[in-house]
Amino acid sequence: MFFLHNLERRVTLHPSYFGRNMHELVTTKLVKDVEGTCAGDYYIIAIMDAFDVSEGRILPGNGLAEFTVKYRAVVWRPFKGEVVDAIVFSINPHGFFCQAGPLSIFVSSHLMPEEIHFDPNATPPQFTNNADMVIEPGTHVRVKIGGLRTELGEMYAIGSINGDFLGCLQA
Amino acid sequence: MVKTIQLGSRLRYPITITKLYKEPNQPIKKKEALFQYSFKWKRTVGDNIRGETWEAEETTYADWSSPSDGELKSWKIRVGQEISRDQDCMVVKESCSHDVQFGGLCAICGKDMTEVNWAAESRDMDRAPINMVHDQTHLTVSETQAQKTENALQRRLLQHRKLSLVVDLDQTIIHACIDPTVGEWQKDPSNPNYPSVRNVKSFQLDDGPRGVANNCWYYIKMRPGLEDFLKKISTMYELHVYTMGTRAYAQNVARIVDPDKKLFGNRVISRDENGNMYAKSLQRLFPVSTKMVVIIDDRADVWPRNRPNLIKVSPYDFFKGIGDINSGFLPKQQGLLTPSAAATTNGGLARIAPAPSPDKEDSTTMEPPLEKALEEQEKTLEKQIKDRPLQALQEQQDKQDEAAERASATPENGNTESTTPPPPHHRHQVLQDDDRELAFLENHLTALHKFFFQAYEQNRLSQPSSSPSSLDTQSIPDVGSILTTLKAQALSGCKIVLSGIVPIGMDVYRSEIGLQVASFGAELRSSVTRDVTHLVVSSQRPRTKKVRQAIRYLPKIKIVNQDWLAACFSEWRVVEEGPYSIEGLEDAQKKLNEKIQDAEATETVSDADDTDSGNAPPGKKRILRLKSPPRVRFATAASTGNGEDEDEDEEDSDSGGDDEGEDEDMDEELEAFKPTDADGQLSPIDGLKTFNWGSADEELAEFLESGSDDDEEEEEEEEEDEDDDEDGDNVNCEDDEEAPAQATTNITTTSSSYEQLLAAQGTAPSTKRKADDEEEEESHKRRKSLLGPGPSSLRNELKDEDVEAPTAEMEAQAAQDNQDAHDADDLDKEFEELDEEALEADFLAMDDGDGDEAQGQPVDGDGTGNGGVDENG
């Protein structure tokens, strides 16, 4: 689910950048550092604006200036039970991997409808029910997130396509 | 999934079950209390300070918590039961067996597997320890799941009559380099290499190496016939890519080799997913059974656990001197069959071609830690871009061509050169595209496939229980053993001796080549005997002692260079020896035969002397023989002006394990036509009287001042030994040249070099085996006993006794020395006169003729003069 989130971050600036457009530089650096990263259990998708850039404080010892920036960002936090659309990128006999934005989700063959099975003879290998449902790399699927785990800068998710309206999306 | 759960070892046994909270068929949750138990224990009570304490028995009640979720099926315990140790307590139907896990999550129930709590003794993570997916490291499965998946795979393969084939990329089916020269040649149709590099594909990597090599182009040359090969093979095998390159690299190469993804699909595994930087393992992809898996790779040492399944192919080396660009991580390769100069067509070029950089050959380096390896890899890549080895090669080639052209052109043209522009000379290309390995490989794989399914059908028929139509995973034969038997037929019946191929100090039987020879069913011998069929000689140094021995049996023993062995390895049969045989041996044999006849003719005479010399102090002869050969032979070779048989005995006399025991052989053979050293006219002691030990001392002092004797000796050698080509690039054999070379320099240094020699040779006997074992040991013992009081003390004694009258023993010894010197000089003369073969000299020299020649040699070199020798001569 997407949220607008107020966040705060300390940005340091090298003395060679000190000058009139310092605040601009600070914002640029913030965007560069933060956008697209995984911060704990959510992803920072985009920074809308930095609404408060504090005065710079020179750090003793190395001369860097430190700014405390308050900013507003669009963040995405996947929840257990959330349904997301994703694109399949890898298939193996145990299941397939799909990517919902920055998050890769594994859908195990246990969490697929009964009639879908792994077909290793197809090129490339695919999951199919021998009818309309063909899951191969590049397929758009709708999956329900069944479990989430976060590690430092990384998130793992388990998905399921066992349910109504889940599975292949008819393009 | 019904599972029996145990009480666990952490309880304070004995315990008594007091209450069961749950009935069978009730759902249970993790960490939920399931039953209550009591246990008794002792507590110390009373007054600690006054020391009035005693132990009181207490009973404590505790709950036992469920380690897993599911449904309770039945209890294995009952209320009131007393339990003295760990045992089964209940049967549970687990709601999830956590068979497939992804990044610490159960892929089935979505629970966090990394959680650790008091209730369970083992972590849930451990339930799925196997990583068997090509392109992911975070996905792990349990053993049952792996078994299931692999059974399904085997069934499917059997159904399609296929096997699995794991294919290595670098130097097996492609050759890659990043030398930008290739790109330039591709754009220049006038370049001689243009036709060769026209089909070279290229790509860039986003996540490639940093630094200079960043954003470089990778040039990929497919092995000739690769497309057809893969197409045909893919009907019999399911192909996997297993490479030590990065993932991006592997995928890019796969895209070039297999643009439709029909052959490899997504079955590509790279070092990023391998989990081990130094070795490949089939168990990574096939954790349960490797019965249906074949590997093709150019390196056997990276498959330590899966040798039986491996077909080793000869490395594809298109971009000369580049090697494997992804081998930075792998252990350094040893014991390669490097093609001989002749095989690389352009004559001398191969010699110039940078042999794999010297540090590559360093066999003793420990495996570098990862970061270092990464750095090293980057460095080699950078070096390739900066140094442009291919360009350098071509320039060298051009220069050679030019020189050749000029040589041929000038006599014709005469003075017209200035008027007409020189014709555009024909430039030779550096890159040759003449590899035929894949054709043989295809045959082998086809045969293997055929035999496998024959065996499978047989197994199936012999098992009455299985119906003929069903696919039966029980009767799958092991393709590894089939491959082994197939290979063992290839060279069966051959008895092969290697010379100058396995590095010194390495056990031939355990060397890469030795293992391969054995795996092809040939018998590897350590010394030349009558029943040996092939002697494989390094073409760079084709005149070893073994060769000389083998010459005697020439029509029967085929003397070939290492390319023959390589050809046999790739063709799996005994290849026609003709093109690989060493030239010029016929003459040598003829001459040898004459010699033998001569020797036999004189044998009756020498017999008496033999017995004489047998009475001489036993140490003497042997020692002299040991320190001797090179000098005399160099002298004779030079004097006869016949480089043909110029020999490199010194390299061979102790060349590692495989040469052990040769001395002994040699001796016996030589006994027959040993020079009659003391032919009765000269008393053996005569020489000593005239020998000037003082000058020898001076010489010694000078010599010691002059620093390392090795260096000097090497210089000398280089001067004298003109025909001895490129010692430098022959890394293997340098050491062995040194030890005996030292031995020749001076009698004092000799004693130390004996020890060296002994040390070198002493390493071998432990690893010896087979027929020459006893012989070997005997000779070793003998040598030791001889040396015991021998040479090290000899010199000092002699010095002391310089003034005094020599003791009888000393006298005898010295006399023998001088006698030897005399003989040696005689020999020299004789050779000069008769233009004798150096061969002969070897045999003579081998015995005892040259001990003092060796002593005299440095003297001749620096002109101090040695009375003993001169006077005797």
Give the minimum alpha-carbon distance from A147 to chain B in angstroms, rounded to a whole number: 4
Neighbours of B805 (CB within 10 A): 8
Question: pLDDT at position B730, please?
Answer: 42
> Is the pLDDT reported for residue B845 higher than 80?
no
Weakest-pLDDT range from B130-134, B346-350, B659-663: B346-350
Say how far apart CA A101 and CA A76 lie, in whole Å. Answer: 10
| Residue A108 at interface with chain B, using a CB cutoff of 8 Å | yes
Question: pLDDT at position B633, please?
Answer: 42
| Nearest C-alpha in B relative to A112 | B108
| Domains within chain A, CATH numbers bracketed | 2-76 (3.30.1490.120), 83-168 (2.40.50.140)
Strands A126-128 and A134-135, how do they pair? antiparallel
Say how far apart CA B98 and CA A158 lie, in whole Å. Answer: 13
Tell me the range of B43-47, B583-587, B629-633, B863-867 where mean pLDDT is highest. B43-47
The pLDDT confidence band at residue B364, using thresholds 50, 70 and 90, is: very low
Return contacts of A21-26, CB within 8 angstroms, 24+ apart. A22/A56, A22/A65, A23/A53, A23/A67, A26/A50, A26/A53, A26/A67, A26/A69
Which residues in chain A have Cβ-Cβ distances shorter than 8 Å to B102?
A: 106, 108, 156, 158
Chains A & B: contacts with CB separation below 8 Å: 81
Q: Which of B234, B263, B266 to mutate to test the interface with A (most CBs of A within 10 A)?
A: B266
C-alpha distances (whole Å) from B731 to each of B60, B334, B461 are 76, 12, 55
B residues 82..111 contacting A (CB < 8 A): 99-100, 102-111
| Residue A99 at interface with chain B, using a CB cutoff of 8 Å | no
Q: What CATH number was assigned to the domain covering residues B1-95?
A: 2.40.50.100
φ/ψ region of B134 (left if φ > 0, alpha if ψ in -120 to 50, else beta) reads alpha
Question: pLDDT at position B529, please?
Answer: 81
Average pLDDT over residues B31-46: 91
Per cent of chain A over pLDDT 70 is 99
The token pair at B617 is 């102090």
Q: What are phi and psi of A87, to 5 degrees?
A: -115, 130
**Runs of H (alpha helix) within B630-746:** 630-640, 649-652, 656-659, 662-672, 686-690, 693-705, 709-720, 734-745
| Nearest C-alpha in B relative to A97 | B136
Contacts of B364 (CB under 8 A, 6+ apart): none
The pLDDT confidence band at residue B725, using thresholds 50, 70 and 90, is: very low
Say how far apart CA B436 and CA B224 lie, in whole Å. Answer: 7
Q: What is the model's pTM?
A: 0.65
> Is the pLDDT reported for residue B476 higher than 80?
yes
B residues 110..129 contacting A (CB < 8 A): 110-112, 114
Give the minimum alpha-carbon distance from A24 to chain B in angstroms, rounded to a whole number: 30
Weakest-pLDDT range from B98-107, B200-209, B451-460: B200-209
Q: Which of B108, B136, B157 to mutate to test the interface with A (most CBs of A within 10 A)?
A: B108
pLDDT, tens digit (0-9, with 9 covering 90-100), for B208-256: 666 666 778 888 988 888 999 999 999 999 999 999 888 888 989 998 9
8 A C-beta contact, residue B384 and residue B181: no
> Is the CB of B107 less than 8 angstroms away from the CB of A94?
yes
Average pLDDT over residues B857-864: 40
Superfamily of domain B161-332+375-408: HAD superfamily/HAD-like (3.40.50.1000)
pLDDT, tens digit (0-9, with 9 covering 90-100), for B50-63: 888 899 999 999 99
Question: pLDDT at position B703, please?
Answer: 72
> Is the CB of B152 less than 8 angstroms away from the CB of A154?
no
Q: What are phi and psi of B502, to 5 degrees?
A: -85, 135
Cis preceding linkage at A60, omega within 30 = no
The token pair at B241 is 């890519």
| Nearest C-alpha in B relative to A107 | B107
Question: pLDDT at position A35, please?
Answer: 92
Which residues in chain A have Cβ-Cβ distances shorter than 8 Å to B260?
A: 123
> Among residues B696, B685, B730, B719, which one has the least CA distance to residue B820?
B685
The token pair at B857 is 């040699």
Give the minimum alpha-carbon distance from B541 to chain A in angstroms, rounded to a whole number: 53
Question: pLDDT at position B701, please?
Answer: 74
**pLDDT: which is higher, B707 or B289:** B289
| Residue A90 at interface with chain B, using a CB cutoff of 8 Å | yes
Question: pLDDT at position B744, please?
Answer: 41
Q: Which of A110, A137, A151 sits opposite B108 (nearest CB)?
A: A110
pLDDT, tens digit (0-9, with 9 covering 90-100), for B293-330: 999 998 888 898 888 899 988 888 888 777 787 776 66
Selecting among B47, B126, B135, B170, the annotated active-site residue is B170
The token pair at B200 is 């070279």
Confirm whether B1-95 and B161-332+375-408 share one CATH topology: no
pLDDT, tens digit (0-9, with 9 covering 90-100), for B650-702: 444 444 344 444 444 444 444 444 444 444 445 555 555 566 666 767 777 77
> Is the CB of B110 less than 8 angstroms away from the CB of A91?
no
The pLDDT confidence band at residue A139, using thresholds 50, 70 and 90, is: very high
Amino acid identity for residue A125 in this structure = P
> Is the CB of A156 less than 8 angstroms away from the CB of B156?
no
> Is the pLDDT reported for residue B420 higher than 50?
no
Any catalytic annotation for residue B112?
no
Question: pLDDT at position B504, please?
Answer: 75
**With DSSP H G I counted as helix, E B as strand and the rest as coil, what are the percentages for chain A, rounded to 5?**
10, 55, 35
Give the minimum alpha-carbon distance from B340 to chain A in angstroms, rounded to a whole number: 44
Which residues in chain A have Cβ-Cβ distances shorter than 8 Å to B261?
A: 123-124
The pLDDT confidence band at residue B758, using thresholds 50, 70 and 90, is: very low
- Structural domain spans, chain B: 1-95, 161-332+375-408, 621-723+742-872
Question: pLDDT at position A105, please?
Answer: 94
The pLDDT confidence band at residue B815, using thresholds 50, 70 and 90, is: low
Give the minimum alpha-carbon distance from B259 to chain A in angstroms, rounded to a whole number: 12
Question: pLDDT at position A86, please?
Answer: 96
> Is the CB of A124 less than 8 angstroms away from the CB of B266?
yes
Q: Which of B152, B160, B261 sits opposite A124 (nearest CB)?
A: B261
The pLDDT confidence band at residue B80, using thresholds 50, 70 and 90, is: very high
Any catalytic annotation for residue B170?
yes
> Is the pLDDT reported for residue A48 higher than 90?
yes
Selecting among B168, B297, B301, B652, the annotated active-site residue is B168
**Coil, strand, or helix at residue B242?**
strand
Question: pLDDT at position B756, please?
Answer: 52
Tell me the range of B248-257, B513-522, B525-534, B554-563 where mean pLDDT is highest. B248-257
Which residues in chain A have Cβ-Cβ distances shorter than 8 Å to B107?
A: 94-95, 106, 108, 110-111, 158
Which residues in chain A have Cβ-Cβ distances shorter than 8 Å to B108?
A: 108, 110-111
Give the minimum alpha-carbon distance from B133 to chain A in angstroms, rounded to a whole number: 7
